[in-house]
Amino acid sequence: MTPAEKIIEYLEGRMPLSDFYTRVLHDEALQTFLEQDASIPPYTNPGNLFLYIMDQDVSEPATDIGLRDALSKLLTALGVEHQSDTSSRKNYGLALDASPAWLSLPESYIKTLIAGFETLGGKREKLAFAKDKIAKDFRYLNKPPKWLQSPSWPFDGDAPLLFVGQLDASGLAHDTAQIYVFFNARDRGIQTLMQVA
């Protein structure tokens, strides 16, 4: 099997990302193929696609999307015909679509949502599942947080903390500032974080 055929096997969804990554680690011909001089920004900014792949966290759903895009662009640039499975991109998009504006889902949580999609049917059912799970997991006493910067919801392990409320702390800083208060039901502790705009 040629290096291009091995890449196509992954792109078509016949090999999971973790197995493809292992293959790249141990297959010198595939490494050489990925090290060739090809300009595919931003993926080749570190030097070449092999270096890009080695720098990725294969446990994150976004890695699969980026890697499929990079490899597809490489094969296209080389004139190699191929198809690419888009299910991971679609599922990732559904997870993001289900997220409210006041929340930025971490990759680990998106991974959990996507794993829950496996037994579900179409787009509508997956979106309903994701919205319901987010509503159950990301709870707040009265209102969701109004972030001054990017949302930064704290977790205890894989469990989001309960949002209690926020306080205007502008008197403590030279700019607008908010303190966000969260409750950890596991240890009955309070966690705070501050954002300044």
| 113 inside domain | yes
Per-residue confidence (pLDDT) for residue 172, from 0 to 100: 85
| 116 and 179, same domain (yes or no) | no
Whether pTM > 0.85 for this model: the answer is no
- Domain holding 168, by residue range, is 155-196
- Residue 37 pLDDT: 82
- Beta bridge partners, 183, equal 162, 190
Whether 144 is in a domain gets the answer no
**pLDDT at residue 148 in the model:** 95
Count the neighbouring beta carbons within 10 Å of the beta carbon of residue 32. 11
Q: How many domains does the chain have?
A: 3
- Distance CA(173)–CA(185), nearest Å, equals 30
Provide the token pair at 105: 């889902």
Q: Are residues 11 and 70 in the same domain?
A: yes
51-56's contacts with Cβ under 8 Å and 24+ in sequence apart are: 53/21, 53/24, 54/24, 56/21
Q: Report yes or no on 182 lying in a domain.
A: yes
3: alpha, beta or left, given left = phi > 0 and alpha = psi -120 to 50? Answer: alpha
Same domain, 73 and 102: no
Only one residue has tokens 């929340």, namely 103
Question: DSSP assignment, residue 172?
Answer: G
Mean pLDDT of the residues in the chain = 93
In angstroms and rounded to an integer, the radius of gyration of the C-alpha atoms of the chain is 21
pLDDT at residue 173 is higher than 80: no
pLDDT at 144 over 80: yes
Residues 74-94 have a mean pLDDT of: 93
Q: Is residue 187 one of the residues assigned to a domain? A: yes
7 found inside a domain: yes
pLDDT in tens, 43-81: 887 788 999 999 999 999 999 999 999 999 999 999 999
> Which of 52, 77, 102 is the C-terminal boundary of a domain?
77
Does 16 reside within a domain?
Answer: yes
